[in-house]
């Protein structure tokens, strides 16, 4: 059985312009395992555009066996959605979201 462990973010509160780090771990029968291919998608709530990162050809960082990170700048307020998919050796999918607040600081 293939699973992706909980996706974690680096801060409990997020604001427009902040860089967020999405971390995810792929496991096969409970053992951390590297998928052959990984795709991570980030969906912007305002423009409804989606950014795709595909590993090994994108800016995903392999932290350890089965453990990966991807950084995104959240450019608009609203609920951002992230989806991580592993294929090949480990077939697994997870989706998470986070709420991004507009800045209340006036420049």
SS3 call for 10: coil
Query: What single DSSP character describes residue 103?
Result: P
The C-alpha atoms of residue 27 and residue 36 are separated, in whole angstroms, by 13
Q: Is the pLDDT of residue 8 over 90?
A: no
For 35-91, list the strands marked E by DSSP.
37-43, 50-55, 61-64, 67-73, 78-87
Predicted local distance difference test score (pLDDT) of residue 22: 86
**How confident is the model over 27-41, as a mean pLDDT?**
92
CB 4 within 8 A of CB 96: no
Sorting pLDDT into bands at 50, 70 and 90, what band is 3? very low
Residue 53 — pLDDT band, cuts 50, 70, 90?
confident
Tokens of 20: 């967020």
Predicted TM-score (pTM) of the model is: 0.79
Query: Is the confidence at residue 7, as pLDDT, over 70?
Result: no
């Amino acid at each position: 059985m293939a699973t992706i462990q909980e996706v974690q973010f680096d801060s409990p509160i997020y604001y427009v312009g902040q860089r967020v780090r999405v971390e995810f771990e792929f496991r096969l029968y409970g053992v951390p395992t590297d998928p052959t291919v990984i795709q991570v998608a980030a969906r912007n709530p305002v423009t409804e555009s989606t950014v795709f990162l595909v590993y090994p050809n994108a800016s995903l960082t392999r932290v350890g066996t089965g453990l990966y990170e991807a950084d995104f700048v959240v450019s608009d307020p609203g609920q951002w959605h992230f989806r991580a998919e592993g294929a090949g050796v480990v077939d697994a999918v997870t989706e998470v979201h986070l709420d991004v607040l507009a800045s209340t600081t006036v420049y």
